């Protein structure tokens, strides 16, 4: 028995060392990508994918961890973008301070959005969040004196760092998003295995059983919406700063559907799967851009095939295998 346990521990150590090396190599490739590929278009596509990765990570907290279907996530994205745009245009708030205001305002709106959904579940929550998302878009579209209406807001300042202005170049935004995604991965990973993260998972599996075990469903749902909104606010601020302009058309229902598809495609609750799903659904349309007539047809067929043969998501099964392995060890 001792020999078997020693062999198992050695194999685990070897696997952990191998995974660490793979992670180091992967991060090295990611960091050096703008040097390896100097095509501005390719870098700009990856920057857009990075913004969607941030959105998918935030929605994964609400859907993947807490199990709450949110079809109005674009509203939180819009709140973050318009918060920075308004503060920058009218009060000349710089990007780095606006990043905090955007994240906090989107988190507060997420909490407000969660209140009507506290006593609801399943499809009813989806309907409430869908309605809230459309209400936000319509308000932004009609509040001309404040939001600029359909034309949006122009002249938003680009970020700067120690006197260096990012401008419209893609490389600085690439590294900015890389830092933000890295920080989010660190924080969300810690949250996943914290007491709050376990409460989210318990709520996702069975709300009644979770409440009987002493978990407060109201606080748990509010915290999930707040953290998901916080991440969406960060993504919205970066989006507004990069584009230099925001308009309601950038935050329609299609954006919410795309982010939901990224989370489901990668695997609910699986951080690596969510990132992979965001990359696939962000880059695949660009790869099919040469087939303008049939691009959306190919895109739809690919989605249907993946849902038919991998309904749990690309990396969804890996997560469950890991959970079963941990339970067996205990």
Contacts of 291 (CB under 8 A, 6+ apart): 298
Contacts of 20 (CB under 8 A, 6+ apart): none
- Give me the phi and psi of 154, to 5 degrees please: -115, 165
Integer Cα distance of 82 and 98 in angstroms: 10
Which residue, among 241, 91, 70, has the nearest Cα to 161 in the 3D structure?
Answer: 241
The answer to whether residue 95 is domain-embedded is yes
What residues of the chain score a pLDDT lower than 70? 1-19, 292, 295, 317-330
Angle at 173 between CA 171 and CA 178, to 5 degrees: 100
How many domains does one find in the chain? 1
The answer to whether residue 23 is domain-embedded is no
Yes or no: say if 112 and 127 are a contact pair by the CB < 8 Å rule: no
Yes or no: say if 76 and 279 are a contact pair by the CB < 8 Å rule: no
What secondary structure letter does DSSP report for 143? -
Hey, which residues does 153 pair with through a beta bridge? 246
Hey, which residues does 160 pair with through a beta bridge? 165
Which residue, among 197, 235, 206, has the nearest Cα to 82 in the 3D structure?
Answer: 235
Three-state helix/strand/coil letters over 63-88: HHHCCCCCCCHHHHHHHHHHHHHHHH
Which residue, among 81, 98, 71, 60, has the nearest Cα to 235 in the 3D structure?
Answer: 81
Integer Cα distance of 152 and 147 in angstroms: 6
Integer Cα distance of 71 and 206 in angstroms: 21
Integer Cα distance of 69 and 20 in angstroms: 34
The answer to whether residue 327 is domain-embedded is no
For every residue of 104-126, DSSP letters joined together read HHHHHHHHHHHGGGTT--THHHH
Tokens standing for residue 7: 């062999």
The answer to whether residue 33 is domain-embedded is no
Structure confidence at residue 21 (pLDDT): 75
Q: Helix 195-205 vs helix 170-192: angle between axes, to the nearest 10 degrees? A: 80
Pairing of strands 245-246, 160-161: unpaired
Three-state helix/strand/coil letters over 248-284: HHHHCHHHHHHHHHHHHHHCCCCHHHHHHHHHHHHHH
Helices (H), the chain: 2-36, 40-60, 73-91, 95-114, 123-142, 144-147, 170-192, 195-205, 207-212, 217-243, 253-266, 271-287, 295-309, 316-329
Tokens standing for residue 15: 């696997």
Q: Which domain holds residue 108?
A: 51-316
The answer to whether residue 31 is domain-embedded is no
């Amino acid at each position: 028995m001792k020999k078997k346990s020693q062999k198992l521990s050695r194999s685990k150590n070897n696997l952990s060392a191998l995974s660490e090396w793979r992670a180091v190599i992967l991060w090295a490739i990611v960091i050096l990508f703008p040097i390896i590929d100097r095509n501005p278009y390719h870098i700009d596509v990856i920057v857009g994918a990075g913004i969607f990765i941030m959105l998918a990570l935030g929605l994964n907290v609400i859907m993947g961890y807490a199990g709450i279907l949110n079809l109005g996530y674009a509203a939180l994205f819009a709140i973050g973008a318009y918060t920075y745009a308004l503060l920058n245009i009218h009060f000349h708030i710089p990007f780095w301070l606006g990043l905090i205001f955007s994240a906090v305002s989107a988190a507060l709106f997420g909490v407000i959005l969660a209140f009507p959904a506290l006593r609801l579940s399943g499809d009813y929550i989806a309907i409430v969040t869908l309605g809230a998302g459309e209400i936000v878009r319509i308000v932004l579209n009609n509040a001309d004196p404040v939001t600029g209406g359909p034309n949006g807001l122009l002249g938003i300042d680009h970020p700067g760092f120690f006197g260096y202005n990012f401008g419209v170049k893609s490389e600085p935004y690439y590294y900015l998003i890389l830092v933000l995604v890295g920080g989010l991965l660190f924080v969300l990973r810690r949250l996943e295995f914290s007491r709050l993260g376990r409460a989210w998972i318990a709520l996702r599996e069975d709300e009644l059983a979770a409440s009987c075990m002493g978990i407060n469903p109201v606080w748990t749902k509010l915290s999930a919406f707040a953290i998901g909104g916080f991440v969406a606010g960060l993504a919205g601020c970066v989006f507004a700063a990069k584009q230099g302009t925001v308009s309601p058309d950038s935050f329609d229902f299609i954006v919410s559907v795309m982010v939901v598809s990224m989370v489901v495609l990668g695997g609910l609750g699986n951080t690596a799967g969510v990132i992979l799903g965001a990359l696939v659904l962000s880059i695949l349309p660009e790869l099919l851009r040469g087939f303008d007539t049939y691009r959306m047809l190919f895109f739809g067929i690919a989605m249907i095939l993946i849902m038919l043969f991998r309904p749990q998501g690309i990396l969804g099964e890996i997560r469950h295998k890991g959970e079963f392995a941990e339970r067996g060890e205990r």
